[in-house]
Amino acid sequence: MIRLAAVLAAFILLVLPAEAHRLKLFVQAAGGAITGYGFYIGGGRPEGVELVITTPDGKEVRRLRTGSDGDFSFTPPVPGRYHLALASGDGHFAEVDVSTDGGPTTAVPAGKTAQAPLPAPTDLDARIATAVDAAVARQIRPLLEAYDAADGRVRFNDLLGGLGWIVGIAGLWAWFRSRRSGHGN
């Protein structure tokens, strides 16, 4: 048993650098367009995978395929909230709600989404606002990407916590059985 435990420990250390495995969708809305990419948390991008874009009430807007880097871009006909679903074809799914007047979000009040996609170039204030929006979107993109990559990653502490749970459940089960069959004392 001890040797087996040693092999198990070696196995854990061996695979430690690898990370969890889950399909995720990074999406950013800027300038009325929706751009982003799908990625596996363990590394790798889903290539040529179908992305289905629907409105919040489930009406299909568009179907497209991701490029070689898992990337896609899409300009919705009217600004508003959209639901993006990615199915990688091997049983992985990712979905995200996005609103074209802000970052990827699920909780935007419905009344706030009615912003014009690109204001008329005659209005200086609106042009500045558009330029600032684009610059901010460009600047915070790496931040959002890092956040999405970190979210859902398997952390060493969580793995150890899970092992602790398994040991605890086994102990509880043994204790329960020992009480029931009466040879605990």
Partner 1 sequence: MAHIPDGVLSLPVLAAGTLAGVGGLALGIRRLTDRDIPRTALLAAVFFIASSQAFSLGPTSVHLLLGGLTGLVLGWKAFPAIFVGLLLQTLLFGFGGLTTLGVDLVNMALPGVLLAAVVRPFIRVDRPARSAAFTGGAAALAVVITAVLVGVEIALSEPAFAPALGVMAAAYLPLAGIEAAVTAFVTLYLLKVKPEMIVAPAVLGTAI
Nearer to partner 1, 46 or 79 (CB): 46
Contact between 154 and partner 1 by CB under 8 A: the answer reads yes
| DSSP strand pairing (50-54 vs 60-65) | antiparallel
Site string for partner 1, 62-101 (x = CB under 8 A): -------------------------xxxxxxx--------
Q: Which of 47, 71, 133, 145 binds partner 1 (CB under 8 A)?
A: 47
Tokens 């008329």 belong to 120
Query: Which of 73, 43, 48 is closest to 149 using CA atoms?
Result: 43
Nearest distance in Å: CB 129, partner 1: 37
- What is the spatial distance between Cα 105 and Cα 82, in angstroms, rounded to a whole number? 10
Nearest distance in Å: CB 44, partner 1: 5
Determine contact, residues 72/35, Cβ cutoff 8 Å: yes
How many CA atoms, within 13 angstroms, populate the side-chain half-sphere of residue 164? 6
Total of chain residues touching partner 1, rule CB under 8 A: 48
Tokens 């509880």 belong to 172
Nearest distance in Å: CB 149, partner 1: 13
Nearest distance in Å: CB 111, partner 1: 27
Q: Which structure tokens are listed for 5?
A: 């435990």
Residue 148 backbone phi and psi in degrees, to 5: -65, -35
Residues in touch with partner 1 (CB under 8 A): 1, 3-5, 7-8, 11-12, 15-16, 18-22, 40-47, 52, 87-93, 152, 154, 158-159, 161-163, 165-167, 169-170, 173-174, 177-178, 181
